Amino acid sequence: MGMSRIASAVEDAINRRSVAYLKDKGWRPRIIGLTGYGSVQSLHVLGRVIMADPQVDAEDPEALERAAPLGPINVAAEAQRGWRSFFTAQVGFLPVTVHANGQSIRTMTDRGGYIDVMVRDHGLEPGWHEVTIEAVAATHPVTAKVLVVDPSVRSGIVSDIDDTIMVTMLPRALIAAWNTFVRHTSTRKPVPGMADLYKQLLADHPTAPIFYLSTGAWNTVPTLRRFMDKNGYPEGPMLMTDWGPTPTGFFRSGIEHKRTQLRNLLITFPDINWVLVGDDGQHDPMVYDELAREHPRHIAAIAIRQLSPAEQVLAHGTPDAIEEPPALRNATAEHGVPTVQGRDGHALATMLPEVVAERSQTLVALED
């Protein structure tokens, strides 16, 4: 048995014991509804089941975060320490039922306690809706928000999170640990101008969806939601991943997660042209360029936030970007997909809206 498989088995064994211990303490499974998305044909409903104190008000998300297995902590509501988000006992392989517009879909949580249910022919109109998730032995059903994208929509945004909209300087191990497990979430700073940039892009296409794609863990979603609300970022589904060992590796591949989710969006929304926004601290330029080369008619533009030399050092150890598409083999050179770069949202805003408008006209002409 490989070391990663052993680590995965150990993690599962520890979690089973944690669930049993908390059950003896009177805790019960509690459902956390995550933001789902879909088209008028199909809908992804997302959620998670963890153990929680039944005496904690489930309608209070901050109180729910304080109900982690380590017990409550006396800090201000907007200064929750980020490390608490990771100490949860997830309930794997638990039967759950999703109710969406008269349909009831029975499924089961995965080993990490996650729910990802596809509801087909759901009959929901475009816009934001709520679906209900209930689970065996859970404290009570919960609602989860879902975004149904109008079939007439032709534009959308995909945005990275870390170092794109939020200054985190991940994933350098020491800094990542400090930002995630120690620093108060209220001290995390937004990248200047990014919220305004997204609002400007969406003003021209008010029905366009925005998706936040990150290699960060699902556990951090409540914290990130508060950060986005506080700093004026448009609401949109968040496509996160899960940390920890798998049968094939000690850590899940962030690159593969992004590749998979981007392709899922192209499959779910085949008529949307996407603006892909990321940073050059890690692999966004290559992942986005790869997708644009494969599907140039689905990509309106690529926007890359350029980290400062100091941020680059903290991100990966050198003052320069670690990975960029080759000068003559990239989506811009081969297919005319525009790429713009800038230090922050203000710099990108001087170029990106005009580039997107011109590219959209080109794509319409190609369709005709």
Q: What is the pLDDT of residues 149-208, one digit of tens each?
A: 999 999 999 999 989 999 875 554 554 455 555 555 566 789 999 999 999 999 988 999
Contact, 81 vs 187, CB < 8 A? no
In what order do the strands lie in the sheet containing 114-120? 103-108, 95-100, 127-135, 142-148, 28-38, 42-52, 114-120
Mean pLDDT of the 87-112 span: 91
Q: Encoding tokens for residue 282?
A: 């890690």
Whole-number pLDDT of residue 268: 95
Residue 299: what are its φ and ψ, rounded to 5°?
A: -115, 115
pLDDT tier, 97 (very low <50, low <70, confident <90, very high otherwise): very high
Please choose, from the candidates 245, 236, 356, 338, the residue with its C-alpha nearest in 3D space to the C-alpha of residue 289: 338
* Cβ–Cβ < 8 Å for 331, 339: yes
Q: What share of the chain is helix, strand, coil (3-state, %, to 5)?
A: 35, 30, 35
Instruction: Give the span between the Cα atoms of 266 and 38, in whole angstroms.
Output: 12
Report pLDDT digits (tens) over 109-161: 998 899 999 999 999 999 999 999 999 888 789 999 999 999 999 999 999 99
**What distance in Å separates the CA atoms of residue 190 and residue 253, rounded to the nearest whole number?**
26
Q: What SS3 class is residue 55?
A: coil
Residue predicted with more confidence, 79 or 367: 367
The answer to whether the beta carbons of residues 70 and 87 sit under 8 Å apart is: yes
Name the band, by pLDDT with cuts 50, 70 and 90, for residue 251.
Answer: very low
3-state class (DSSP) for residue 175: helix
Cα angle vertex 262, ends 94, 232, to 5°?
85
For residue 71, is pLDDT > 80? no
CA-wise closest residue to 200 among 35, 29, 345, 37: 345
Distance, CA of 237 to CA of 36 (rounded, Å): 6
Domains of the chain: 3-148 (2.60.40.10), 155-367 (3.40.50.1000)
Helix (H) or strand (E) segment spanning residue 232: none
